[in-house]
Amino acid sequence: MSAFLFRNARVLTMDDAQTEHAITDVRIEGAAIAAIGSNLAPLPGERVIEAHGKLLMPGLINGHFHSPGNFNKGALDDMPLELFMLYEVPPFDCPPTSLRLHYLRTLLGAAEMLKTGITAVHDDPFYVPVLSDDLTDATMQAYSDSGMRATVSINMPNVLEYDKYPYLYDLLPDDLRLKMREATPLTTAQLTDAYRRYIARWHGAHGGRLRAAVSCSAPQRVELDYLHALSSMAAEFDLPYNMHILETRLQRVLGQERFGCSLVQYVHDQGVLNERAHVIHAIWVDQHDMDLLAASGCSIAHNPLCNLKLGSGIMPFRALKGRGINICLGSDEMCSDDSANMWNVMKSGGLVHKITEPDYRRWPTAQEMLEGATRNAARAMRLANVTGQIAVGMQADMILLDLDTFAFTPLNDLRRQLVFCENGSSVGMVMVAGRIVVEDGRLLTLDEAALRSEIREQWDEYQQQFRAVEHWARALEPIYRKMYARTTRAEVGMSRKLTYAEFPIED
């Protein structure tokens, strides 16, 4: 069993009392934190890490991520979500990604996150064009090999493409409508069987470092029986239940057109909105929606950078937080953030709400952003008693930052400078479950140069798949643009964008 003693560190615990130690020692035995206190005597066989002038704090947690986007950073022009998705989850078949390339793609994101001090991720991968046990194994093997803590779902809609959107069926020409109809998704029985195999193989693996979640992608993207089947599995295994809800104005219109209510009201009425629900985005919510979310005990994943890049809008942070809702932070996928850097996410989350909230006393604080990227994210992943803070008995998921850097010189306020000055470059050591995975800024679990080299060597294979996707995306984009434009003319009773008026979009 490995043992470490961090000596003379400044410690930010992120515990309930917001405890901070100016200088103390922290002992790690095996995977867990064994003791916190001054002048702890080194034990035989224990590695002593001198941490004077350094900050020991919980590792950051990426509360929402899609690893299949890892190869698409900087690849796409900015556009609204519904057009953007044509390039990542196309409605028609495309060449499959090899298992090796899928593994490398997942490993690339894990490596990038670990290097900046992200010790855990809540990943919601989609599988294009088809789902298989081999692909889910490749995802989990990558996280296993990286040393990262990961809670991972299977994001596979099972309704036809034109049923996911308002107005699309009528806008499609007959040949494309038929082609969408022929692209038959997996049935509820097939998907639930796949989930049970996946949970049996991976949930709780590696001492609990790897765990499963369930995902409907979004409630309008799945059949009703699958929406309920996932909720039952979430209850059976105590898993988070991922559901993207009201990310865009178009989704607000969809709820009105298809269900006669908001999508929050819909999942509430179906009985699947509860404390295991991990609601992603929640931008276009009204006051009643927020009351339902608060009463359910759910968590919300806030992705401020993604929301800005896709023009989705600004989440009503204080109105949700003020209702007692647990809000965590996420980067979302790399093609809608162009990185997976949670320091950038915290900073943007701490800034963007200031332009929608006139009362400066209600602006997000640095402490709230830090909580969103640590303890709140752990709670959303059903891991509140496992990670997200430094306390005796918790897993040793920690990062050591050098305070002798420009970000902390001079050091005026630790929390504010962590959120608004740091970018990850001060992170020198990263530990997950008591194992050092990054030291002196270098990954110890894999060969970074070899990883980058192999990806470049196999890049032509991925580009062939992307070009096939791009062909159909460009063909469909004018139709989807008409759909998007039509939704801008529908009344939704609110705005989550900084506009003086709602101007219709030309087709």
What is the predicted pLDDT for the residue at 499?
63
Q: Are residues 194 and 211 in the same domain?
A: yes
What is the predicted pLDDT for the residue at 271?
98
d(C-alpha 379, C-alpha 140), whole Å: 21
Going through 184-281 in order, the beta strands assigned E by DSSP cover 210-212, 214-215, 241-245, 277-281
- CB-neighbour burial class of residue 77 (10 A; exposed 0-12, middle 13-18, buried 19+): exposed
Q: Are residues 89 and 130 in the same domain?
A: yes
Which DSSP helix (H) or strand (E) runs through 111? helix 99-115
Summarize the chain as % helix, strand, coil (round to 5). 40, 20, 40
Query: Over the range 436-473, which residues count as b (16 or more CB within 10 Å of their CB) and which as e?
Result: bbbeeeebebbeeeeeeebbeebeeebeebbebbbebb
Q: Are residues 355 and 250 in the same domain?
A: yes
Residue 440 domain flag? no
The pLDDT of residue 503 is above 70: no
Average pLDDT of the residues in 415-429: 98
Residues in CB range of 107: below 8 A, 6 or more apart: 142, 145, 146, 446, 451
Q: Residue 321 maps to which CATH number?
A: 3.20.20.140
Beta bridge partners of 122: 151
Structure confidence at residue 464 as a pLDDT band (50, 70, 90): confident
Q: Are residues 259 and 367 in the same domain?
A: yes
Please say whether the beta carbons of 345 and 329 come within 8 A. Answer: yes
d(C-alpha 228, C-alpha 113), whole Å: 33
Residue 99 domain flag? yes
The pLDDT of residue 504 is above 90: no
Q: Are residues 183 and 216 in the same domain?
A: yes
What is the predicted pLDDT for the residue at 96?
82
pLDDT 10s digits, 248-283: 999 999 999 999 999 999 999 999 999 999 999 999
Residue 487 domain flag? no
Range of the structural domain that residue 191 is part of = 59-385+393-398
| Helix ranges restricted to H, 322-458 | 342-352, 366-372, 375-380, 414-420, 448-457
Q: Are residues 128 and 33 in the same domain?
A: no
> Do strands 60-65 and 118-123 pair parallel, antiparallel, or not at all (unpaired)?
parallel
Q: Are residues 19 and 69 in the same domain?
A: no
CA–CA–CA angle 300, 201, 141 (5° rounding): 80
pLDDT 10s digits, 490-499: 999 999 987 6
Residues in CB range of 173: below 8 A, 6 or more apart: none
The pLDDT of residue 502 is above 60: no
What is the predicted pLDDT for the residue at 144?
98
Q: Among 346, 366, 398, give the residue marking a domain's end.
A: 398
Average pLDDT of the residues in 475-479: 96
Q: Are residues 199 and 70 in the same domain?
A: yes
Q: Choose between 354 and 507: higher pLDDT.
A: 354
Structure confidence at residue 211 as a pLDDT band (50, 70, 90): very high
Q: Among 368, 398, 428, give the residue marking a domain's end.
A: 398
Q: What is the mean pLDDT of the chain?
A: 95
Residue 142 domain flag? yes
Q: Are residues 218 and 336 in the same domain?
A: yes
pLDDT 10s digits, 96-145: 889 999 999 999 999 999 999 999 999 999 998 889 999 999 999 999 99
d(C-alpha 381, C-alpha 317), whole Å: 20
Tally of domains within the chain? 2
Q: For residue 29, is it left (φ>0), alpha (ψ between -120 and 50) or beta?
A: beta
Average pLDDT of the residues in 155-168: 97
Six-digit token string for 144:
């296993």
Q: Choose between 94 and 148: higher pLDDT.
A: 148
| Residue 405 backbone phi and psi in degrees, to 5 | -130, 170
Residue 426 domain flag? no
Q: Residue 12 maps to which CATH number?
A: 2.30.40.10
d(C-alpha 394, C-alpha 404), whole Å: 28
d(C-alpha 31, C-alpha 507), whole Å: 57
The pLDDT of residue 340 is above 70: yes
The pLDDT of residue 349 is above 80: yes
Structure confidence at residue 95 as a pLDDT band (50, 70, 90): confident
The pLDDT of residue 82 is above 70: yes
Q: Are residues 118 and 48 in the same domain?
A: no
Residue 37 domain flag? yes
Q: Choose between 507 and 232: higher pLDDT.
A: 232
What is the predicted pLDDT for the residue at 506?
64
d(C-alpha 142, C-alpha 103), whole Å: 6
d(C-alpha 218, C-alpha 49), whole Å: 46
Q: Are residues 30 and 99 in the same domain?
A: no
The pLDDT of residue 219 is above 80: yes
Q: Are residues 12 and 116 in the same domain?
A: no
Residue 507 domain flag? no
Cα 76 to the center of its chain, rounded Å: 20
Average pLDDT of the residues in 358-378: 97
Q: Among 369, 398, 427, give the residue marking a domain's end.
A: 398
The pLDDT of residue 394 is above 70: yes
Residues in CB range of 214: below 8 A, 6 or more apart: 153, 154, 195, 230, 233, 234, 239, 240, 241, 242
d(C-alpha 287, C-alpha 453), whole Å: 51
Q: Choose between 1 and 46: higher pLDDT.
A: 46
Residue 503 domain flag? no
d(C-alpha 234, C-alpha 229), whole Å: 9
Average pLDDT of the residues in 309-315: 96
Considering the chain, what percentage of its residues have pLDDT values greater than 70?
98
Average pLDDT of the residues in 311-330: 98
At residue 28, the 3 state secondary structure works out as strand
